[in-house]
Amino acid sequence: MKKICLALILSVTAVASWAEDQVWCAYDPIGSQGDITRRLNDIRLYAQQYQVKFKVVTYQKEQQAIQAFDDGKCSGLAASNFNTYRYNQFMGSTAGIGLIPNNRTAKSFLQLLNHPTIEKRLVSKNYEAIGMIPIGTAYMVLKNKNLSRVAQLRNQRIGVLPNNPPQQALVRSVGAQPVYVDLSNAIAQFKQNKIDIIAAPVYGLLPYNLQKEFGPDTQVINFPLAYFGVNLIIKPQAYPANFGRKIRGWFVQNSQLLTNRATQWENHLPAYYWVDVSFYEKQSYDVMVAKIRNQYVLSGYYDAYFVQLMKRLRCMDDPRYFECPIR
């Protein structure tokens, strides 16, 4: 009887102490008062019902959050889908060019996170992807109102991430010049005229008065280049079994709320900044982007199953997309 009681005490103690000292290192360009940090604190409260406790430490420079995670200072990481590719190829592919075109498709994807076919792609020995906070579509932002067609991008300096070969290939394919930036300095380089064009989600633009700080001709091209999300990665050995599945369940339940918030950010940008492209021009963009993207599927850079899944979800949302089968 004493042995049974002792075993029970030890098991309760183990559960109670699972994540007492756990830390999640989080990238939020807005800081600790930003919406990304708020969502993580929602998850923190949700996790407490499973006896998992952690604190969120926010970094405004993404590489600092990633470095802290790699150095073992955190057992959880919230960082852009562009820069979490190394931990999980499937979730890293959410940043792929021409894959998630809008928040509706992002919502459909979040609702599938706990599907067995997908779940097995999210778990490895050292890392587990447990969700994605949708931030919104990345659009081209530029300071020249005379630029609105692909042919006019030649010789323009376009900001790209140094560890993202598809972005670099896409820029070169239109005769433009790729200039390496990171998420913490891209806006500053654009503001200082070191680059002519950046790709950014509206969330990253909200702190700025675009015309005042970037110039009176600043505009945003209403064409989706890629999707920006914040992926959540944990070191699973630091958490109880099935913790990742429970947090993914939170994302499934809150998919509508999360993507609605991303849509609200996009709607907050005044209409006079947006520049629409014609249906013909959009098709030209789509074909160009898909050609580059498919090269990186064949090379193994993008997860092939993820790409096929996104095509199906995209065609459900927009059957006119040129890669959709004719019915």
Say if residue 19's pLDDT is above 50. no
- For the segment 119-131, what is each residue's pLDDT rounded down to a tens digit? 999 999 999 999 9
Q: What is the structure's pLDDT at 15?
A: 47
SS3 14: helix
| pLDDT category of residue 1 using cuts at 50, 70 and 90 | low
Q: What is the structure's pLDDT at 195?
A: 96
Helical residues (DSSP H) of the chain, grouped into ranges: 2-16, 35-48, 62-70, 89-92, 103-110, 116-119, 165-173, 186-191, 202-205, 210-214, 243-253, 255-268, 279-298, 304-317
Q: What is the structure's pLDDT at 190?
A: 95
Q: What is the structure's pLDDT at 220?
A: 95
Query: Could you check whether 11-135+229-268 and 138-227+270-317 share the same CATH topology?
Result: yes
Q: Is the dihedral of CA 66, 68, 74, 75 positive or negative?
A: positive
- For the segment 33-74, what is each residue's pLDDT rounded down to a tens digit? 999 999 999 999 999 999 999 999 999 999 999 999 999 999
Amino acid in position 255? S
Mean pLDDT of 151-157: 89
Mean pLDDT for all residues in the chain: 92
CATH architecture of 11-135+229-268: 3-Layer(aba) Sandwich (3.40)
- For the segment 290-316, what is each residue's pLDDT rounded down to a tens digit? 999 999 999 999 999 999 999 999 999
In Å, how far are 57, 64, 302, 319 from 324, measured between CA atoms? 43, 41, 19, 6
Q: What is the structure's pLDDT at 241?
A: 95
d(CA 48, CA 288): 47
Q: What is the structure's pLDDT at 210?
A: 93
- For the segment 245-285, what is each residue's pLDDT rounded down to a tens digit? 999 999 999 999 999 999 999 999 999 999 998 888 888 88
d(CA 146, CA 12): 66
**Token pair recorded at residue 152:** 């006019």
Say if residue 9's pLDDT is above 60. no
Domain boundaries, the chain: 11-135+229-268, 138-227+270-317
Q: Which residue has the tokens 């070169």?
A: 172
CATH fold of 138-227+270-317, please? D-Maltodextrin-Binding Protein; domain 2 (3.40.190)
Q: Which residues contact 242 (CB under 8 A, 6 or more apart)?
A: none
